[in-house]
Structure 1
Amino acid sequence: MCTRERREGWERWLQQVQNSTDLQQLSRIRKQFHEDLSGEQRAVETLVEVEWINRIYDAMIEQTVKLSYGQLNEQGKGWPPVPFQFVLYGSGGRQELTLWSDQDNGIVYETPPNGQEEEVQAYFLQLGEAVVAGLHEIGFPPCDGKVVSSEPMWCTTYAQWADRMDAWIADPNWEHIRYLLICLDARPLFTYGKVSFQLQLPLDAYRHYDVTVLPHLVANTLKHKMVLNIFGGLIPEPYGEDAGTIDIKYGCYIPIVNAIRLLAVAEGIAESSTRQRFWKLRTSGTYPVVELKKWEEAWIYFLELRNQVHAQYEQGVFAASGKLRVERMTKEMKHTLKSHVRTGNALQKMIRRKIGSGG
């Protein structure tokens, strides 16, 4: 549930973001937004909270893109020379950004007129650099894997974007499969001008049980294991400053998100958000409704815990370890977490048995 008062509060934040005129103002709004949410984030249903956080962050990112190409124009570099889309990947693409998420993004633009390819690419790389720097300024650090619009791999024409998919499918090594799975979460956030393309992955080329591609998809999907030992207990981090913590991001949330994405691919489901994938999987009738409900409940609980992990504001950015200290967890929380981790573990075993074997 979301009360009328709380909804009006979300809408005021959204309006403030949309009315912002510079990065300094956006940065102040984001800090205030964090302070406001810190005392109330448990007061609303998890999916309602996630939806509003992402609507507000989408608006922040869109404003940053607009401010960035406006800045380039003021510098004498002109407006974008061809239509383009600003694309979100990762948790942004899935509409699952948390308070502490980094940035994963790209630019996909129309094929330039003959002879203008280098000039147009140079413009969009500059735009990508401005956007990445702007998002960093308001508190979104670039992702460690360099999936950002300032990188040539993630700043391309649509034709190049699509050709790379085919090349990655034709040579399904570990890195290429990783890139494919990243692109499966792609979501166009902002469109400038009228584009002639629609971002769509060639699902039919690799969604079926292809003997070459499928083992790689499964191996990458199951890379991150649930934090469950052979006795059915949780596995805390054993060493260093994170000793005694549970890895919520990579030991709970990412494994189940990856698993649901793979099930969606196997069904030819093109939606990028986990929530939409669950809905489409229910309508497909392939998996028992009772199992889908258990998987979805686990995913929602992991989403809830992601905003409770150890986090900090440092050097102008918001960052989180993705880990939750065991001593901060109540007995009830531990019991619930263990139950959902077991559900995720069973889901991974099912994928290995039924999809990994091609049966």
Structure 2
Amino acid sequence: MEHSWMERFDVSIYNAVSTEQLRGLRDRMHVELRPSLFEDVIEWNKSVNAAHDRLIAGTIALAEQTLRLEGFGVPPVPYAFVAVGSAGRAEQTLWSDQDNGIVHAVPPEGREAEAETYFRLLADRVHVWLQSAGYPPCPGNVLCTNSLWRKSDDAWKSMIREWYDDPVWENVRYLLMTADLRCLHGDAGLVRSMRNGYMNMLAQTPSMLGHMLQNTLHHKMTIGVLGNIITERYGDDAGAFDVKYGAYIPLVNGIRLLALAAGVAEPSTLGRLDALRAAGKHAPADVDRWREAFVTALELRSLARHEKEDGLYTTRGMIDPESLSKENKRRLKSCLRTGIELQQTVRKTVERLADGAPKKRGGSA
């Protein structure tokens, strides 16, 4: 992709005054950012996520402007619109959904209701407009419209503390999701403060790593004992390989937990791998293999079947193994084998760190 296209894209977002224009820009991304136009999947991933970031930030800015024109004023306190999931890790595909939230500063005494009303209205407007632009809502309701993911920084920190104190499966899942949180628009300092608090709590609660381990290893690499690629047996996807949950997610989850165990707060998978290598806690050759496996999963995920349904870009993360070249089949099998080794390393690392640590009540469901 030429830099001039991204520059024109930025100008078009800045000048957008309607949801129809935003939708046109989203559709244009699918033309200008086709994976086949890029020789390197990492550069493709950077370009795709830069475009998503710009479009979403532009949607938020337009929502702010519209609320101001409608008489609701400006944001009453500083805030950060945050991305979670693949958006938080800067690993969205062209057809990713919405995973987001809002962190705002504590309002002055007596203005709590004003802040709650403003950010609820902003969240509703952004959510609807992103849907209009083709972003389906997160099926797990990790959305700025959900009050669980929209609150003051103090309330966020209290909620995170509650999750640490009661490590049942769902709370641990939320903690792992929060580790991927990234500021998309607004006051990044609010997110840094929250992330620092998160990491400090983890350092003070090493037994939490054991609970995180069970959640992290929930998704397995889908390769058979004889080295065969395991495909879907039934339904519309029969014969297809689930590259998202059979390769990509297990790698993301494993690398995330190794990073957390090493005190790394970086939200992106590639950033976590770089930090792990620099920290020297694992053999450089191992980290390089994990990186190669992740890049393979990232590339094959970009080839997953996708569709446009009711105006929304969606995918089930499936690829047809028979459509892969001989080399890509070899790379996929190598990726899956490396993923198994990674999960074994994660288990050994966490069990060693968590051994003897005070246990919290709760655990896996």
CA 1:55–1:18 in structure 2 vs 1: closer, same or farther (change >3 Å)?
A: farther
User: The residue matched to 2:223 in structure 1 has which SS?
Assistant: coil
Indicate yes or no: 2:221 matched with 1:226: yes
Aligned residue for 2:155, secondary structure, equals helix
Q: CA 1:183 to 1:248, structure 2 compared with 1: closer, same or farther past 3 Å?
A: same
Given the alignment of the two structures, is residue 120 of structure 1 paired with residue 143 of structure 2, yes or no?
A: no
Q: Does 1:27 align with 2:29?
A: no
Q: Is contact 1:207-1:267 (8 Å) kept? A: no
- 2:335 corresponds to: 340
Alignment partner, residue 140 of structure 1:
135
Q: What SS class does the counterpart of residue 33 from structure 2 fall into?
A: helix
Does residue 4 of structure 2 align to residue 8 of structure 1? yes
Corresponding position: 1:183 with 2:169: no
Partners of 1:145 and 1:236 lie apart in 2 by: 25
CA contact (8 A) 1:82 1:193 kept: no
Indicate the residue corresponding to 1:202 in structure 2.
198
1:155 and 2:185 correspond = no
CA pair 149-327 structure 1, distance change in 2 beyond 3 A: same
Q: State yes or no: 1:174 paired with 2:181.
A: no
Q: Which residue is 1:329 aligned to?
A: 324
Name the amino acid aligned to 2:238.
Answer: A
Contact 1:83 1:193 in 2 (8 A): no
SS in 2 for 1:356: helix
Letter in structure 2 aligned against 1:219: Q
In 2: Cα distance, 1:216 partner to 1:183 partner: 15
CA-CA distance at 1:43 after TM superposition:
2.8
SS of the aligned residue for 2:80 comes to strand
Report the residue type matching 1:119 in the other structure. Answer: E
Unaligned runs of 5+ in 1: none
Distance 1:170 1:256 in 2: 27
TM-superposed CA distance for 1:216, in Å, is 1.1
Determine what percentage of the aligned residue pairs are the same residue: 37
Q: Which residue of 1 aligns with 2:363?
A: none
Q: Where does the alignment leave 5 or more consecutive residues of structure 2 unmatched? A: 356-365
Asked if 1:100 corresponds to 2:119, the answer is no
Distance 1:57 1:44 in 2: 20
Q: Contact conserved, 2:33 with 2:48, CA < 8 A, in 1? A: no
Q: Structure 2 vs 1, CA of residues 42 and 345 (structure 1 numbering), >3 Å: closer, same or farther?
A: farther
Aligned to 1:216: 211
Amino acid in structure 1 at the alignment position of 2:255: I
Q: Which residue of 2 aligns with 1:245?
A: 240
Provide the TM-score with structure 2 as the length reference.
0.91
- 2:52 corresponds in structure 1 to 57
RMSD value over aligned CA atoms?
A: 2.0
For 1:145, the aligned partner's letter is G
Whole-Å separation in 2 of the counterparts to 1:54 and 1:148? 19
- SS of equivalent to 1:199: helix
* Structure 1 moving runs of 4+ over 4 Å: 192-197
Q: Secondary structure at the match of 2:233?
A: coil
For these two proteins, the number of residue pairs brought into alignment is 353
Does the CA contact (< 8 Å) of 2:103 and 2:190 recur in 1? Answer: no
1:313 — aligned with what?
308
**CA distance in 2 between partners of 1:11 and 1:297 (Å):** 31
Q: How far is the alpha carbon of 1:195 from its aligned partner?
A: 6.0
Deviation larger for 43-52 or 202-211:
202-211
Deviation at 1:75, TM superposition (A): 2.2
**What is the Cα deviation at residue 9 of structure 1?**
3.3
Q: Does 2:46 align with 1:77?
A: no
CA–CA distance in structure 2, aligned partners of residues 108 and 337 of structure 1: 39
Which string of whole-angstrom CA distances, capped at 9 and with x for unpartnered residues, describes residues 318-353 of structure 1?
111111122322222211101111000111122223
Q: Distance in 2 between matches of 1:193 and 1:72?
A: 22
